[in-house]
Structure 1
Amino acid sequence: MSADTSVIATLEPSKGKSVTTTATQPHGSRGTGRNARYALLLISLIWPAQLLSVIGLLAGNAQAQIAIHFQTTQIAWFSLSAALVGTFLMPFVVKAADLFGKRRVMIIVTATGLVGDLLAALAPNYALLLTGKALSGIYLSMGALVFAIARDVFPRGLVGPASGMIGGAVGLVALGGPFLSGWLLDHHGFRGVLWFLVAATAVSLLMLALFVPESPVRNPNRTFDWSGGLLLGGGLTAVLYGVGKGSSWGWTDPATLAFLFGGVLALVAFLIVEVTVSEPMFQPSLLRRREVWSVLAVTALLSGTVLTAGTITQLLALMPPIPTASDGLGYTATRMAVIGAPASVIILVAAALTGFLARRIDTRLLLAVAASATVVGYLLMAQYHYTPSQLAVTGTVVAVGIGIAAALAPIMIIEAVRPHEQALANGMQGMVQGIVTAVVTQVIFLVMARGGTVLQGTQFYRDAGYRNAFYFVAGLAVVVLISIVLIPRIKRLDEAEVGEAAIA
């Protein structure tokens, strides 16, 4: 043939039927230009997807300087305010994307987050800093929107690899984030971190505006279920806040119980409301489908577990060694970044391979590999975590699980739901994962604190605490491994309806 013929499978939004269009392209610059546009599109989606991880890493490391500068004992609100606002707004954001367009809502979300970042960077007092940080919490929903639009704007053959790369790019954050954080804090202080976040968000906004096309997948019914959104967002936020404050207030404290039970009651009321309204926030029928609820639950449990478990290793490495009080290794952040570099590379490789293998292998098997690697890795880490080489080797085993899990969650959701359900399903998975992360984090700290010591207001941990925390994470991964049997046979990635707005 004298020309390249590319067959792009698209979907007719109004009927949900497959349509095949054939575009004939001559050799040369046109194909090259199209590939360049796909590359720019991929980068433009990776950036906002992983910006949330960058924010968490940099802002978390800056907390100590912020607490000292503003002389506050309420530093926990620096992270908690954004998490609470983001959790509350997520149902509204993903529903708005379903109604008005994913790209349009992503740009609005990023612009709002940029205003919050600017406010935080310029804040003369802690109250204003928290206001800006809370406003930027709207960015929490970006992960759901990025994976949803990726399904729509890449052609069928690239959806899996692109989704895998977007999720697996967390390895880039793990590789370069600690070095960037150390340099910013050492040379520019916490203000340098805050201004870097302003610049990073501005770049994200620019790339979304220039290189990401709008998706044609919309819900034609413009009715907005405000009562359902308020009950869902408010219930999740109450539960998250209760879990977050439980360890300091006490798990039987009336305030803790009020938030937890109040949040659960709101979620029950949400389910009742969704059955009665004509256009619910989330279709109840979606969660009645086994392939959907099982994928959301199992992937949220695995992702929430592996992404939270790094807290144990970070504390182990960075806490100082104090006889009879602390069995930390006393490494610097830079040294820990070097130790973790091989694992970060493995995360990237595993995620990229997962995106390609998902087109050929049952994703349930890949999920089993991720859970198995997590089990083996943390069992090994429980026994071997005393030297840099031990941490580096065991960390690479765990990294296989992290890379596959990061790439597989969005891919399995693509396989389980229809295109017009993608943003809502991603939002559901993100909300469940947020609750899993909060609960697992609290349990990890409780496990580590047993037998630990408090000195001058700081909690230190003994080796038995770290070891038991590793065993706990391995146990959760075993639960994931067993739970995979709940997931029925679902469409392969190549069989799923994707690529609706592929660039011509």
Structure 2
Amino acid sequence: MDGPQPTSRAGGVVATLAFAGTTAAIMQTLVTPLIAELPKMLHTTSSNAAWVITVTLLVAAVCVPVTGRLGDLFGKRRMLLACSVPLIVGSVVCALSSSVVPMIVGRGMQGMGMGMLPLGIALLRDVLPQEKLSSSIALVSASMGIGGGLGLPIAAAVAQYANWRALFWGSAALAVVIAALIWFLIPDVPAGAKGQRFDVPGALGLGAGLVALLLAVSKGADWGWGSAITLSLFAAAVVLLVGWGLWELRANEPLIDLRTTARPRVLLTNAASVFVGFGMYAGMLVMPQLLQFPEATGYGLGQSILASGLWMAPGGIMMMLVSPLGGKLTDARGPKFTLICGVLIIAAGYGLAMALMGTAWGIMLTIIVINSGVGLAYGAMPALIMSSVPLSETAAANGFNTLMRSLGTSIGAAVIGVVLAQMTTTVGGHSFTSEGGFRAGLLIGCGVALVAVAITAAIPAVRRAEPDAEEAEESDAVPSAAGAKV
């Protein structure tokens, strides 16, 4: 494949891929309003019911980089269609479930479909003209945040006014619509790495290492951070991921080319992605609890789940509005500048929260500011990645970047969760996170965003010097997602 192959159906392609990303994010937040009811619904314990949420995270983390590489090998459209199948089947399985095991199976299958987002972003580079690329990448990349912001109030409304099974029948219908749109509107572009072999040992090694790491991170608070199982999982993760890295460096056709990810632009962008994911999720943990805690605490606002979701929904809408502006900013100043602006706005949002957390209007304004920064940041990171990797690795590289963001959200959930659990107060005989605990969580979110600023500032500019013969060959294979800008 010699380069991008623009299509006349650009608008339909972008709309389809953005819709797919938004729906995937909605499926992740689908069970949030049901958390308290899951043990009763599924006739199980609270610890078992927690796997309904955890399994989606684990399966998505394993499948996203794998589906990205398969997209490079066999075609991104084909893999987008393949991802829609477990979304449909998993949703139906969940809708029919009456016990915890089939529900966990169905939620795991939904996690398999989360590879749609990096596949879609990589496909944009293949089919869109240069002038539309940055804004389209920004919109599709931000669709996960948009879906997360809109998914909670939608799911809460359905759960409150209809049978909970309607949530999963609705998600199955959405997945069918997405599959149809992909079939009719997404062009079949030749695979960038066609003819290469799939790295099965690399996929198994990465999957095992990620499962061990994310299990330890997500369940450590429940099991105890010093417990034998948690420490064993962390140790296994280190051994497995180091072994995986050594294998990938020796493989002729690796799952993820670690030499490419070691390039300063790619390495630092992925590092910043971890902190951006952490920074985004800190607010998602703190704000709903502030809205829902009883007013008797002195700082809780006593809102219902549905009301709190509606207060937070404008943040998702703002992300949708900001994303195209982020694309224009990337075209004008480069993705590095856009990313710095985004993480600075996230930090400013947390600073604003310290002053405005006492009212629902203040929290809504804070979420709008934070999500505006997330919209800019999420659009800039794929542009930085795709300007630095060969066409044959775009889907795999975007899958790895998506994984880094997910790793950041998992670490953020664990760290903020520990802070909120440790800093408590007692009201009416019940224990609640204290106001100081919430403020500590907000300060951590602000600090993490500032760390992301420092990392982003260190990302090197694209070299403008005349390349030698080897670099020129590589340059021809790597058209920039944002021109030659920083």
Q: CA deviation at 1:452?
A: 0.9
- 1:257 matches 2:239: no
Select which of 268, 273, 277 maps to 1:294.
Answer: 268
1:51–1:200 contact (8 Å) kept in structure 2 = yes
Residue 134 of structure 1 aligns with an amino acid whose one-letter code is G
Counterpart position of 2:436: 464
CA distance in 1, matches of 2:429, 2:93: 31
CA distance in 2, matches of 1:321, 1:265: 48
Q: CA deviation at 1:266?
A: 0.4
C-alpha distance 174-101 of structure 1, shift in aligned 2 (>3 A): closer
2:12–2:185 contact (8 Å) kept in structure 1 = yes
Counterpart position of 2:280: 306
Select which of 39, 52, 59 maps to 1:85.
Answer: 59
C-alpha distance 247-50 of structure 1, shift in aligned 2 (>3 A): same
TM-score normalised by length of structure 2? 0.89
- 1:234 matches 2:216: no
TM-score normalised by length of structure 1? 0.86
Q: CA deviation at 1:451?
A: 2.7
Select which of 316, 331, 335 maps to 1:359.
Answer: 331
CA distance in 2, matches of 1:89, 1:348: 26
Select which of 479, 482, 485 maps to 1:497.
Answer: 479
| Count of residues paired in the alignment | 467
> Deviation per CA, 1:445-480, whole angstroms, max 9, x where unpaired?
111223315899986211111111000000001101
Q: CA deviation at 1:175?
A: 5.8
Counterpart position of 1:267: 241
Q: CA deviation at 1:355?
A: 1.0
Select which of 246, 271, 284 maps to 2:220.
Answer: 246
1:170–1:348 contact (8 Å) kept in structure 2 = no
Counterpart position of 2:131: 157
Residue 102 of structure 2 aligns with an amino acid whose one-letter code is L
- 1:199 matches 2:181: no
Q: CA deviation at 1:71?
A: 2.6
CA distance in 1, matches of 2:218, 2:403: 15
Counterpart position of 1:440: 412
Larger Rg: 1
C-alpha distance 180-265 of structure 1, shift in aligned 2 (>3 A): same
> Deviation per CA, 1:197-233, whole angstroms, max 9, x where unpaired?
1111111111111111122242134322211111111
C-alpha distance 276-455 of structure 1, shift in aligned 2 (>3 A): farther
Residue 200 of structure 1 aligns with an amino acid whose one-letter code is L
CA distance in 2, matches of 1:65, 1:304: 27
Counterpart position of 1:119: 93
Counterpart position of 2:398: 426
1:152–1:217 contact (8 Å) kept in structure 2 = no
> Deviation per CA, 1:375-434, whole angstroms, max 9, x where unpaired?
111012023200122223333322321221122222222222222221111111122222
Select which of 247, 250, 255 maps to 1:281.
Answer: 255
SS at match of 1:67: helix
CA distance in 2, matches of 1:304, 1:52: 20
Q: CA deviation at 1:240?
A: 0.3
Q: CA RMSD in A?
A: 2.5
Q: CA deviation at 1:65?
A: 3.0
Residue 130 of structure 1 aligns with an amino acid whose one-letter code is I
1:328–1:461 contact (8 Å) kept in structure 2 = no
Residue 397 of structure 2 aligns with an amino acid whose one-letter code is A
C-alpha distance 155-110 of structure 1, shift in aligned 2 (>3 A): same
Q: CA deviation at 1:44?
A: 1.0
Deviates more, 1:125-134 or 1:95-104: 125-134
Identical pairs, percent: 24
Select which of 323, 345, 350 maps to 1:378.
Answer: 350
Counterpart position of 2:364: 392
CA distance in 1, matches of 2:346, 2:459: 19
Q: CA deviation at 1:63?
A: 2.8
CA distance in 1, matches of 2:4, 2:176: 37
2:62–2:211 contact (8 Å) kept in structure 1 = yes
SS at match of 2:214: helix
Counterpart position of 1:58: 30
Select which of 117, 121, 134 maps to 1:147.
Answer: 121
Counterpart position of 1:318: 292
C-alpha distance 498-472 of structure 1, shift in aligned 2 (>3 A): closer
